Amino acid sequence: MTCGLKLAAARSGTLSNHTLRQRIPLNAVRRYSSHTTSTAPPTSPFAPRHFLSIADLTSTEFAALVRNASSHKRTIKSGSIPQNLLGSLTGQTVAMLFSKRSTRTRISTEGAVARLGGQPMFLGKDDIQLGVNESLYDSAVVISSMVSCIVARVGKHAEIADLAKHSSVPVINALCDSFHPLQAVADFQTIHETFTPKAHGLNSLGLEGLKIAWVGDANNVLFDMAIAATKMGVDIAVATPKGYEIPASMLEFIKKASDGVSKPGKIIQTNVPEEAVKGADILVTDTWISMGQEAESIKRLKDFEGFQITPELAKRGGANESWKFMHCLPRHPEEVSDEVFYSPRSLVFPEAENRLWAAISALEGFVVNKGKIE
């Protein structure tokens, strides 16, 4: 997993699939920065704004997505629907291209589309495999001509980047091997709802000064969480075993994503969990064995010994007295003890619910409001 993310060169719609495969190698060479695809507002129906990473958002836009998610949650749970959302996707279809299994992402996305009056269309790996039976270019052009949005959960980041490159409708990343932006919105919504925010402007959530300790594997969930943290002035300390650190290119990408932020949060790395936990307000972990890493399970379980989040670790490391715990799920007992996971410190179930409100907020911003997030 690296930040040297690559896109295939532009393909002419007049070429056959066979010609495309021969003339344009899959590893063609333009370096991809998610941020460059999305900062400018769309200029035509064929130049939509995509949501592939938190790096695609300014600080003001990310804060707005989080605030809108919380606001819609309060309004809808009180029994009404915000006027601007009522029937906002009526008559529209959202294609959900999921090549990886999913529970929370599928339920939250389908629920979000339905609440806005739209029709979710789920296409799993047995229904469609991007770039297998036909070129990804052909799939992107055809599918986007029939729907209002594509929500994609894929393997390699290059797949969703290529899909977005050729789609005529917004593409929202529901997970790839490098990023998980909807999870980051839900995570910061949970933090924002839990910790009393300071006075702040539109480009902030008032969370400056908080510290997150990530203990475990450096993965896609961490990468977007770290981008969000630095944008919001929240420090994040990452503890991984040796050999599992954030790749240098991704670390550079994370830091660059906060360019222009007046007081970005700091990101530090260590191989000692106690060092990361010191002074932390929120302790976070995730699976040690991600999808596709099953063959490494025995080695990974051994390498991650001592990285389980427990009350003892928090005490040894000197976490803040009122520390909270987060996990994006599914959880395995080696990652966090029951004593923490099912305790009043745990935010995991509100965090999971907030996936629904994050999806509603993203659909509002990128589909209903055509990329204008405020």
Per-residue model confidence as pLDDT tens digits over 85-121:
999 999 999 999 999 889 999 999 999 999 999 999 9
Name 270's Cβ contacts closer than 8 Å, sequence gap at least 6: 237, 238, 239, 276
- For 350, the token pair is 């509100």
Q: What does the alpha-carbon distance between residue 271 and residue 273 come to, in Å, rounded to a whole number? A: 6
**Rounded to whole angstroms, how far apart are CA atoms 289 and 365?**
33
State the helix-helix crossing angle for 220-231 and 59-77, rounded to 10 degrees. 100
**% of the chain beyond a pLDDT of 90:** 78
Domain 5-179+354-366 fold is Rossmann fold (3.40.50)
What's the CATH code, domain 183-347? 3.40.50.1370
Give yes or no on whether 5-179+354-366 and 183-347 have one common fold. yes
User: Hey, where are the domains in the chain?
Assistant: 5-179+354-366, 183-347
Query: What pLDDT, on a 0 to 100 scale, did the predictor assign at position 131?
Result: 65
Instruction: List the Cα angle 130/131/135 in 5-degree steps.
Output: 125
The pLDDT value given to residue 287: 92
Per-residue pLDDT band for 40 (boundaries 50, 70, 90) equals very low
Among the residue ranges 20-29, 140-149, 283-292, 330-339, the one predicted with the least confidence is 20-29
Q: What pLDDT does residue 1 have?
A: 45
pLDDT at 144 over 50: yes
Q: How confident is the model at residue 28 (pLDDT cuts 50, 70, 90)?
A: very low
| pLDDT of 126 above 60 | yes
CA–CA gap between residue 164 and residue 160 (Å, rounded): 6
Is residue 72 within 8 Å of 353, Cβ to Cβ? no
Query: What mean pLDDT comes out for the span 139-150?
Result: 95
pLDDT at 275 over 90: yes
pLDDT digits (tens, 9 = 90+) for 156-214: 999 999 999 999 999 999 999 999 999 999 999 999 999 988 888 899 999 999 999 99
Whether 284 contacts 212, CB under 8 Å:
yes
Is 17's pLDDT higher than 90?
A: no
Q: What are the residue numbers of the active site?
A: 328
- Per the model's pLDDT, the better-predicted residue between 370 and 31 turns out to be 370
In this prediction, residues 139-152 reach a mean pLDDT of 95
